[in-house]
Amino acid sequence: MLEKTDVVIIGAGPVGLFAVFELGLLNISAQLVDNLDKPGGQCAELYPDKPIYDIPSRVTISGQELTDDLLKQVEPFNPVYHLNQQVESISKTENGEWLVETSIKKKIQAKCIVIAAGAGSFVPRKPPIEGIEKFENQNVFYSIRNKSIFQEKRVLILGGGDSALDWTNELSKIAIISLMHRRKEFRAAPDSVSTMLELEKQRKVNFILGQIKNIEETTNNSIRVSYENENKIHDIEVDFLLPFFGLKMELGPIARWGLNLNNNLIKVDTEKFETSEPSIFAIGDINTYPGKLKLILSGFHEAALMAQECFKYCYPDKKNVFRYTTSSKELHKKLKV
Amino acid sequence: MAKIIVTDRNGNEKHILADENSTLMEIIRDAGLDIEAACGGCCACATCHVYVDLEWIDKLNKMDDDEESMLDQAFSVKKNSRLSCQINFTKKIDGIRLVLAPE
Ligand SMILES: Cc1cc2nc3c(=O)[nH]c(=O)nc-3n(C[C@H](O)[C@H](O)[C@H](O)COP(=O)(O)OP(=O)(O)OC[C@H]3O[C@@H](n4cnc5c(N)ncnc54)[C@H](O)[C@@H]3O)c2cc1C
Ligand code: FES
């Protein structure tokens, strides 16, 4: 399936979202791709409830509030969100446009690419166990697509946050569940914690205090997981292991696109925020230039200047007239106010 | 001048000059040691995980809930585990010994 738009924005963090607004004012349509299951980038994933104090004119605003307000602000431009997928490759089409392809084989064609990828894609934090890769997608899963494979199986869940507890509670209905965590306290929603403790009382969940050390193959396609508690090593045999240690950011496929990089950051100029490849821009935490500050407000500024240059690629024959949102009737129409 | 003593992941011991307006994470990072500190010290990543020498652990400010929760996303957590971005350097801990936790 091929989608067409003026600009593909890689990353739906605060800066990618605001880029939709700045592009929209100039009549440039945009589609966003993000690996996460929701927009908002670091603000929504890492610190939804923490206050930010340096967004101009907002004395205090939480990461989630900022995300929600940005989503509202860009609504008039009807951006398309492609979530739960990573942009894997980019290539040039015959007519000189860009073709962006995602991990679920979605293809988007656009005149410009805007990389607003922060510190890279959010990916699961994996336990540092040698050879864990060879069990992945067989016995070890970091996310769950099809829970029916766990039916009647022995499943060990690791972690003490929301994902760990939600899946413990959910899968205890169909599988033999053990939950392992380093302490008997959990940073999950109080409701899920009490449900889990109740299930444990009813012996529908087996809680194990400890930390994973190793995984070994056993004969019948299952695995033996060894873990440490109070300096002693124990083990447990299970069919599936589900580690939930949160997410971390990893540059990922962007490193392979032939752009000029410096310490995993993309070099840009400070007039147009264009990369070493014409019509590919980089804004927000992912870029670097002399004096760069990784601040949301810097990213917003970069989005505005980037949009000016995108206009030239999208409307090569038109002149862009600078207007204020306060006074321009035309902009009011676009903003539906 | 005040200092901290850090054992890196290769087992090498480094003496690093420390100043009072910094966190232990900042001192370690700015000395060029291999500490990821991905979130820059916001207690949001657990990649500044260190083990504090047992002789020093009681001299530190107590761990708050935020830090304890974030440690849930670290591996090989021990009794003397701390997130170094949550510890301010003061004269009281001049000479403190730390070991960088494995990645
Ligand atoms: C705890 C904490 C507190 C902070 N406090 C402040 C503050 O007070 N003030 C301030 O200004 N800043 C603060 N920051 C920094 C601020 O959050 C970042 O500057 C901001 O999030 C950068 O926005 P961004 O849109 O550039 O990138 P991000 O928010 O990192 O979003 C990038 C998105 O791109 C996605 N992505 C990357 N690569 C791909 C790919 N190949 N395919 C698909 N998706 C991809 C990622 O999944 C991610 O969702 C804080 C950060 C943290 C962690
Ligand atoms: S630097 Fe991220 S938690 Fe300390």
Q: Which domains, ranges and CATH numbers included, belong to chain A?
A: 2-122+247-335 (3.50.50.60), 126-243 (3.50.50.60)
Model confidence at A1: pLDDT above 80: no
Residue of B nearest to A243 (CA): B73
Across A38-56, average pLDDT: 94
The burial class, CB within 10 Å (0-12 / 13-18 / 19+), for A263 is exposed
Record the tokens describing residue B85, joined without a space: 């971005």
Q: Which of A46, A161, A187 sits opposite B44 (nearest CB)?
A: A46
Tell whether ligand 1 has an atom less than 6 A from the beta carbon of residue A14.
yes
Q: Compute the distance from residue B49 Cα to the ligand 2 centre, in Å.
A: 8
CATH code, B3-100 = 3.10.20.30
Is B29 within 8 Å of B45 (Cβ atoms)?
no
Pick the ligand that lies closest to the CA of residue B43. 2
Q: Which of B40, B73, B103 sits opposite A246 (nearest CB)?
A: B73
For the segment A137-157, what is each residue's pLDDT rounded down to a tens digit?
999 999 998 999 999 999 999
Across A164-168, average pLDDT: 97
Pick the ligand that lies closest to the CA of residue A248. 1
Atom of ligand 2 nearest to the CA of B43: 3
B13/A331 Cα distance (integer angstroms): 61
Q: Domain boundaries in chain B?
A: 3-100
Q: Residues with Cβ < 8 Å from A180, sequence gap 6 or more?
A: A156, A157, A158, A207, A208, A209, A210, A211, A212, A227
Q: What is the pLDDT of residue A145?
A: 85
Provide the residue-wise pLDDT of chain B in tens; the chain has 103 residues: 899 999 999 999 999 999 888 999 999 999 999 999 988 898 988 999 999 999 999 999 889 999 999 999 999 999 999 999 999 999 999 999 999 999 8
A312/A38 Cα distance (integer angstroms): 31
pTM of the model: 0.88
Q: Compute the distance from residue B64 Cα to the ligand 2 centre, in Å.
A: 14
Is residue B17 within 8 angstroms of chain A, CB to CB?
Answer: no
Strand order in the sheet with A261-262: A261-262, A265-267, A287-288
Average model confidence (pLDDT) for chain A? Answer: 96
Tell me what ipTM this predicted complex has. Answer: 0.89
**B45-64 residues touching A, CB cutoff 8 A:** 45-47
**Chain A residues with CB inside 8 Å of B71's CB?**
182
